[in-house]
Amino acid sequence: MKISIGANIFDGPWGGGNLFFKNFVTHFRNKGHNVINNLSEKDIDIILLTDPRKESESSSFTHKDIYKYLKYINPNTIVVHRINECDERKSTNGVNSFYLNANKVADYTVFVSSWIKDIYKSFGMNIDKSKVILGGGDSDIFNKNKKSKWNGNEKLKIVTHHWSSNENKGFEIYQELDSMLDNELFEFTYIGNLPSSINLKNTIVINPIHGKNLSDELKNHHLYITASKNEPSGNHHIEAAQCGLPILYLNSGGIPEYCEGFGISYNKQNLREKIIEISKNYEHYCKELDKYPFSNNQLHSEYEELFKKLIINRKVKNSKINKMFKFIVNFQFYLKKLLNLSKNL
């Protein structure tokens, strides 16, 4: 199978979307599939549209480029649109309507959470040919091997990590947590980029790291917190859960779909209370994390199964069309002969 993804891939820490496609390409190539990120070849089976915005540095082609490809090069190529972006995520305007229009080129749509699916459904998107495929992390890197265990007496080490410094990552929550660190109960580490306006006085701040270095750092801690608001999916909480860290999360966006049962939801007003609550039930949540289901293996298997099904369905459809076309041609031929014969009688 030849798959073209509409994404440019960058090395180093670069956010969850970039990591998704880096792992996606590795998996499908290891399975023997041909993965490219352009529309220059004539025999593409699947086009995976991601960010259709031309100005996005991560986008390698747009929905308009796909229209041209289908019209002039290969009309039988199947287009799958993966939707992981919305106005609610970064407080923008026009993204939802733009994606709604771009989605018209798609044969099938994949949403990264039920939350974002409901947003586009409310905007009038046809979701008959769609499904939710929840994200996953690389369990070869993010796992419980050599994870630090909390003995219940030492300081509870809390951690989070973000590549983006967008305000919806919830920095006011991290500031609130920072202000609590004047006691002996817990400490907080922030990994990643911070807005210039944010000053965490009592927090350990580490520059962005990724891969094994990030995994090792997460496993030096006991509890994970995410303050992301309106996040359709995200990777940070998945990686933490795979490393065996119970999660404190806001009841916002698609994140609860990944975290429910593996930690506790909180808000700014009850943050301290919820930290104490989860610490009292710490062993319970650690055991629950043994059943954490979201991994790259599960994610890629769902995509591979979907692509194969779509290709088979397209071949069946084309076969039926060809048979119908031949029937019509033959019918017209014999009808003409019959009419000519009747004239001669």
Instruction: Give the integer Cα–Cα distance in Å for 312 and 190.
Output: 47
Q: Average of pLDDT values for 71-87?
A: 95
pLDDT at 328: 63
Write out the residue limits of the CATH 3.40.50.2000 domain(s) in the chain. 2-133+296-323, 156-291
pLDDT digits (tens, 9 = 90+) for 199-245: 999 999 999 998 999 999 999 999 999 999 999 998 999 999 999 99
Specify the 3-state DSSP secondary structure of 159: strand
* Range of lowest pLDDT (59-68, 135-144, 179-188): 179-188
| pLDDT at 152 exceeding the cut of 70 | yes
Distance separating the N- and C-terminal Cα atoms of the chain: 57
| pLDDT at 262 exceeding the cut of 70 | yes
Could you please state the CATH topology (level 3) that the domain comprising 156-291 is classified under: Rossmann fold (3.40.50)
Strand 223-226 versus strand 247-250 pairing type: parallel
pTM over 0.85: yes
pLDDT at 56: 83
| CA angle, 293 then 296 then 301, to 5° | 90
| pLDDT at 325 exceeding the cut of 60 | no
| pLDDT at 265 exceeding the cut of 70 | yes
* Range of lowest pLDDT (141-150, 242-251, 319-328): 319-328
At residue 61 the predicted structure's pLDDT band, cuts being 50, 70 and 90, is very high
At residue 286 the predicted structure's pLDDT band, cuts being 50, 70 and 90, is very high
- DSSP state for residue 7 in the 8-state scheme: B
Each as own residue / partner, the long-range contacts of residues 280-288 (CB below 8 Å, 24 or more positions apart, any chain) are 282/150, 282/152, 282/222, 282/223, 282/246, 285/246, 286/244, 286/246, 288/261, 288/262
| Beta-bridge mates of residue 204 | 189
| Beta-bridge mates of residue 156 | 186
| pLDDT at 312 exceeding the cut of 70 | yes
Considering the domain 2-133+296-323 in this protein, what is its CATH number? 3.40.50.2000
